[in-house]
Structure formats: C-alpha cells, structure tokens
Amino acid sequence: MYTRFSTYFRFFSGIIIVLMSIWLAILFKPGTLPITYIKNQYHILLILLVSWIAISILFKKYHLGSKRDLRRTLPAVLRINIIIAGVTTLTMYGLRELELSRFVLFTTLITGTFLELVFFITYKQLVHSKKIDDSLQDFIDTREALARELVMQKRIKAPAKKGRHPVSSHISSYIIQESGEEVYHLIDKHFDLTADDYTILSTTTRFNVLKLADNYFNAIANLKRINDIRYVNKFFEAINSKMDAGGLFIGCVETKNMRKRRIMRKFPPVLNVIYYFFDFLFKRLAPKFNITKKIYFFLTRGQNRVISKAETLGRLYSCGFDVEEVTTINNHMFFVSRKIRKPYKDTNPTYGPLIKLLRVGKNGKEFYVYKFRTMHPFSEYLQPYIYKHYNLKEGGKFKNDFRVTTIGKFMRKFWIDELPMLINWVKGEMKLVGVRPLSTHYYNLYNEELKNERTKVKPGLVPPYYADMPSTLDEIQASELKYLKAYQKHPFRTDWCYFWRAMFNIFFRKARSE
C-alpha cells in the first residue's frame, strides 16, 4: 500500500513539475503575455504535457525513487528526459501547422529536468535515506560486536567450541526484507543459523568486511550484488581473509544475460534494442580498453557494471573459493562457494582484446601464448570447475562452454583468435606444425607417456588434430603421440605431410576447432 501511494505521489508531483516548467518558460519568454500565449497555444502545450507524462509512465520514471539509490536514479531520469526531448521535437517538427516557440520548448525541457532531479534528490533524502534496513544494520552491528567481544575475552582467533542458540525469527525477517524468502531459504540450507560462527552482510565496500573480527566466521553471506562493487577481487579477498578454511561464502550477481533479459522486458520493442545497444557500448565495451576504462570508472565508480557468469565464477576461483552451487533467484545468480586456499596474486590481469595465456612448452617450461580474447575475463581460472560440472565433447573441447563469448565463437570458427600466436612463432617459442600448447590443467589430463613426449618438442600453430580429426580425448592423445614419435624420426617430412593434410581437412572438409 505504501509503495503504491509513493508511486502516485511521484506521478502527481511530476505533473505539477511539468506545469510549473511550462509556466516559467512562458513567463520568461520575451515580449509575451502568459495568459494570451496559453489561450493561443493551449493545444500544442497540451500535446507537450501529455507526451511528457506518457513517456515518463512508459519508461517507469515514477517507479525510480522506490528501490534505487541516487547514483542510479538520476542518470535514469536524464536518459528518459532525453527521450522526451527527442520525441517532442520530432512531434513538433511533424506538426508544422502547430507552431511552438523553440524557447518555450527547450526552456520547459531544461527547467523540468532540473526540477525533477531536485525532486528525486529531496525525496530520496527524506523517505529513503538509508541503503540498508535499520533492523538489518542493527543485526550486523550486534554480531560484529559479539565477535569482537569473544576475541578480546578469550584472546584467540576463533573459539574452540561454537556457541549455539535457537534461530531468531528476526534473522529470517531481516533477510526476507532485504532479499526475499527464497534467498533466506538458500542461506538457511547452507548455514547453521543456530551457531555463532556466521554473519550476514549487505554491503558494497570491503571496509565493512575488513572491520569484522579476524578469522572468526565459518560462513558469510552478502546480500548486495557484486555489480555495484568497485573492486570485486579486493572484496572477495577481504571475505577470504575473514573466514576459516572450508568456510562458506554466499553472494549474488546480475549476469550479462540476466541484464539483457531485464532491459528487453523493461522497454517496448525497438526502443529496447536501441537502449541495449548503447548500454553494451558503454557498460560492456568501454571497460575493456585502457583509454575508455578510466573514463568509464570515473563516471560510474564501478556501479551497475556488467559482469558475466564466467567472470563472476572466475573471480571467485582466483580469490581462493570453490563454487559448489549456482542458482537463479529474482533474476539474479546466487553462488555458494567454499574457501579452499588463499587468493592468487595476479598483479597484471587482462581484460582487453589481446591476452596472454600461460602454457606448457618445451622442456616443461611455461611461456605466454598471445591470442585474441574469445572468453570472458577470468575464464582461465575456471578449467577445474568446467571439467567438474560439464563433459568433454568430440574434439576434447568442453561441452556447453559458457566461457566463450558470442564474438569469440565467430573468431574461433575462422581462427582469427590464433593470429597473434604468430608472435610466439617469430620469438621461437613455437613452430609451424606441432602439438597444441596446453594449460597446466589440460596438460595434466594426459597420460604420463604423452606428457613426457610433449615436453621434448616445441608446440605448434597447426596441431595434428586437423590432420587426423580425432573425436575423444583418448583419440587426441593417440594422434599426438603418433605425430611426436614420427617427428623424432623424420622432423621435416613429418611436418610437411601433416601440414598439407591439415590444410586439406580445413578447406575441403570444413574442419573447425569449436
């Protein structure tokens, strides 16, 4: 009931703002009597008023103030008002017999936008001043105080025996108020809510994590989505540092596909495609390049960023967590992960189109292979997860590999992604024909005999796979072992024959690496 009243209040306030803006625009128009102007132009002013209100309702402007913070509400108001300006201008141009002063039109748009921004800021401060429900924040503070008190009293990092208490009805209500019943049931399924070894957070800053008692919690849940966290890995590392080995961490994210689905449902046809196109350019492509990345994070501060499923899980694995369960609740992906080690320290992560991947080379020495990115960022950490939850298909590839992007599938089909490997060839790290350079995880799937033979020669750009076209992992190993033994006896002749057999299969039998 309160939500409906708030929406009506914002709606009628919007009408008043538009009427005030029109009146002020007419009032300040040089050489114009307001009453006379309104009598002569009432029909066109009515069109302006109806267009403004209709587009605002269509794009749900009057729903913005209820759940969003100001950093998301204000840009949304600006975007909607830009659409209003465009539609109104085109309407006035099409109805040339109805002449409206440009001064009145644009003054109304500018004044109305300014007044709406002031209204939303004031409304948010008065009605929705806190990001977290007071009761939830009290619950967090209470548990943190309890943890600090136990540490000070016992002078140990964690109590030898955890205390137990009945599950408070307040705990469930706090979680349900913040995220809904399904989220509470997920947490209740994995956490022992009768113990004192867990905490519930609703934060987007690692500061609130770092102030928790050191190494006390065996379970931590964060109800805020990671899309609004500026430094995601630093946040995960902070969670890792505050948990015992084997502790559980539950969090959530709106993935790239979920975001697209939300946008397509939110806006009407055609407009949703246009909106998603520009959203993709700004939110997805801009952060990938060094120049635009700085501008993007300066403007957004990392809020409402686009993150794929693969990137989310990859970041978790890189920060020392093993993902045990993934589920969808309220168009958000919730993950249940377990701490298995300390985080990796990747001081030079790659997000751009050109990447370096660590591979096993001659004599077992690791080197970096250059490729165009075909997978989402941090996908390189997910090979154990993919191998655990998915099956290998023909060709030894992972089945249903969600790590590969849409454009990545196209690039792989025509080997565009492997063109930068020519750099490795020029540097002498690879040869033209040879076994494919493998990651450590994939390399360890091979039998010992083949692993030993592989380290005797350099990997190659054109693997024997294209010459023999094996289907299973065992057949791939047999094909590579056959090639390696033949190469040791007749290096040049073997590479010559394998090269032309591979070219024949590629061009005439449509052999592909997907």
- Which residue from 512, 365, 374, 513 is spatially nearest to 443, judged by alpha carbons? 365
Per the CB < 8 A criterion, the answer to whether 16 and 22 are in contact is no
CA dist 203 and 132 (Å) reads 8
pTM of the full structure: 0.65
Give the DSSP per-residue string, 61-114.
GGGHHHH--HHHHHHHHHHHHHHHHHHHHHHHHH-TTS---HHHHHHHHHHHHH
Residues shown for the chain: 514
**Residue 400 is encoded by which pair of tokens?**
């249903």
Which pLDDT does position 303 carry in this prediction? 85
SS3 at position 366: strand
**Cβ count within 10 A of residue 499:** 17
CA dist 469 and 55 (Å) reads 57
Which pLDDT does position 148 carry in this prediction? 57
Which pLDDT does position 226 carry in this prediction? 96
- CA pseudo-torsion sign 98, 101, 106, 108: negative
Burial class of 315 by CB neighbour count within 10 A (0 to 12, 13 to 18, 19+)? buried
CA dist 477 and 180 (Å) reads 50
Backbone angles phi, psi at 247, to 5 degrees: -70, 155
pLDDT digits (tens, 9 = 90+) for 46-64: 877 888 888 888 887 777 6
**Residue 367 is encoded by which pair of tokens?**
């080197």
SS3 at position 202: coil
Burial class of 25 by CB neighbour count within 10 A (0 to 12, 13 to 18, 19+)? buried
Which pLDDT does position 287 carry in this prediction? 83
Which pLDDT does position 157 carry in this prediction? 43
Q: In the 8-state DSSP scheme, what is residue 302? A: T
CA dist 65 and 139 (Å) reads 26
Per the CB < 8 A criterion, the answer to whether 338 and 321 are in contact is yes
SS3 at position 446: coil
**Distance of alpha carbon 196 from its chain centroid, rounded?**
32
Residues pairing with 367 in the sheet? 359
Which pLDDT does position 264 carry in this prediction? 92
Q: How do the pLDDT tens digits run along the chain, 514 residues long?
A: 546 667 777 788 888 888 888 888 888 777 767 777 777 777 777 877 888 888 888 887 777 655 555 666 778 788 888 888 888 777 766 665 556 677 787 888 888 888 888 887 777 666 554 444 444 555 556 655 665 565 555 444 444 444 555 555 567 888 888 899 999 999 999 998 888 889 999 999 999 999 886 667 899 999 999 999 989 999 999 999 999 889 999 999 999 999 999 999 988 888 889 889 888 888 888 887 777 888 888 878 888 899 999 999 999 999 999 999 999 999 999 999 999 999 987 656 666 788 888 999 999 999 999 999 888 888 888 877 887 777 655 545 566 678 888 888 888 888 888 899 999 999 999 999 999 999 888 898 899 999 999 999 999 999 998 898 888 888 899 999 999 999 999 999 999 999 999 999 888 877 766 5
Burial class of 258 by CB neighbour count within 10 A (0 to 12, 13 to 18, 19+)? middle
**Residue 110 is encoded by which pair of tokens?**
């500018």
Helix 34-58 with 70-94: angle, nearest 10 deg: 120
434: left (phi over 0), alpha (psi -120 to 50) or beta: left
Task: Say which residue the tokens 């994995």 belong to.
Answer: 190
Which pLDDT does position 269 carry in this prediction? 86
pLDDT digits (tens, 9 = 90+) for 226-247: 999 989 999 999 999 999 889 9
Residues 6 or more apart in contact with residue 188 via CB below 8 angstroms: 172
- Which residue from 272, 257, 144, 254 is spatially nearest to 208, judged by alpha carbons? 144
